[in-house]
Amino acid sequence: MSLSQSQPRSLAGRVSRIGLRQETLVYLALSLALLAFMAINVALGRNSIPISEIVNLIWLKINGQVLDPTYRRWEVVLFNIRLPRIFMAFLVGAALSLAGAAYQALFRNPMVAPDILGVSSGAGVGASLAIVWGMPTIGLHLMAFFFGLGAVFLVLFVSHVVGRGKSLLVLILVGVVVSALFGALGSFIKYVSSDDSTLTAMVLWLMGSFARSSAPKDALVMLLAFSIGAIPLLLTRWRINALAFGEEEAQTMGVDYERLRLIIIISSTLLTASSVALCGMIGWVGLIIPHLARFMVGPNFGRLWPAVVLGGGLFMLIVDSVVRVVLPGEMPVGIVTSLLGAPLFIYILCLGRKVWI
């Protein structure tokens, strides 16, 4: 091998190692920040618990010792409320961010959000009907979940009839139409609702909140939905990279484009629908976090998804900390994400960096 041939290879190897070290530092920084905000959320709240007492409580439970009344009260607060809420916030942020990154790769458009195909609007209609009919919480969650899935399947069906399911543009346009249709239905339900308490409950649910989904069983349901939705995306992460070159180029690389597109849509819909069904509509997370992650680690989906998951979970924990500790009362999470997300997204656009292939 000549010297002129070996130098480019060695240079590429050094660049690859530098990139790998940078990504490792990003993952490490996000993980440490995530652990720090988890500790903050565990300790702070209406009833603050010192970190040292939390450690003592865990130690006493491990040793099976009898707890005094103070520790029993902290045990209920810690294990029944705060820890499930922390895991719920992390999982919802991670799910929405991962779904947003997958949709942006599929549509090759960094402006795409997880609700592009109408899942949030459909879930809103289902939840509104459940509230009007006086259904219990589990009924509300199920109605929101299945109406969200139904909206996406309606988009797929109509796009298949109109464009034979082959045009991403048709898919997006049909998604916009279906979102508008379900949005109008949701507004109609609120308009004809004569009970002020019912109308208030619908409005508050649509704003998003973790206060009503802080039970341990809710966190387990979200963990199951996240696992089912995320695993197919992670298994196909290298094929998702081929989508950046277009449908024809991806097929020449051996990618089954139609199958991969269906996997992305179903998995992302499951992630988004489960988040909306359990916690209401929480916007901007799935739009801005993938942008920030691409700034840090690049557009390669195989390296992007850990930053997206960690960054989305961290962002939601920060928002939840603001909601619980800084702001008076229990302001809906969706309001804070919009207040933080919109200016942050404008700042990202102003950076003008070319990180999207």
Cβ contact 199:193 at 8 Å = yes
Tell the residue number behind the tokens 């069904």, with chain if given.
277
Q: What percent of the chain has pLDDT over 70?
A: 90
Mean pLDDT for the chain?
84
Residues in the chain: 357
Asked whether the predicted pLDDT for residue 16 surpasses 60, the reply is no
Q: What is the dihedral of CA 337, 104, 271, 88, to 10 degrees?
A: -30
Asked whether the predicted pLDDT for residue 305 surpasses 80, the reply is yes
Instruction: Report the alpha-carbon distance of residue 256 to residue 157 in Å, rounded.
Output: 20
The model carries a pTM of: 0.88
Instruction: Report the alpha-carbon distance of residue 123 to residue 276 in Å, rounded.
Output: 7
Cβ contact 277:213 at 8 Å = no
Instruction: Report the alpha-carbon distance of residue 69 to residue 175 in Å, rounded.
Output: 54
Give tens-digit pLDDT for 149-176: 999 999 999 988 887 656 788 888 999 9
> Which amino acid, residue 153?
F
What pLDDT, on a 0 to 100 scale, did the predictor assign at position 86?
92
41: left (phi over 0), alpha (psi -120 to 50) or beta: alpha
Q: Please list, in sequence order, all residues whose beta carbon lies within 8 angstroms of the beta carbon of residue 342, skipping any fewer than 6 positions away.
A: 284
Asked whether the predicted pLDDT for residue 41 surpasses 50, the reply is yes
Name which residue leads in pLDDT, 274 or 255.
Answer: 274
Which CA distances in Å does 247 have to 108, 161, 203, 258, 265? 11, 20, 41, 9, 16
Domain ranges of the chain: 48-351
- The token duo for 3 is 């010297």
Instruction: Report the alpha-carbon distance of residue 119 to residue 305 in Å, rounded.
Output: 22
Instruction: Report the alpha-carbon distance of residue 250 to residue 260 in Å, rounded.
Output: 10
Where are the alpha helices (H) located in the chain, listed in sequence order? 3-43, 51-62, 69-76, 83-107, 119-132, 137-163, 168-192, 196-207, 216-235, 237-242, 247-252, 257-279, 285-297, 301-321, 333-351
2: left (phi over 0), alpha (psi -120 to 50) or beta: beta
- The token duo for 65 is 């010792």
**3-class secondary structure, 291:** helix
At the topology level, CATH places domain 48-351 in ABC transporter involved in vitamin B12 uptake, BtuC (1.10.3470)
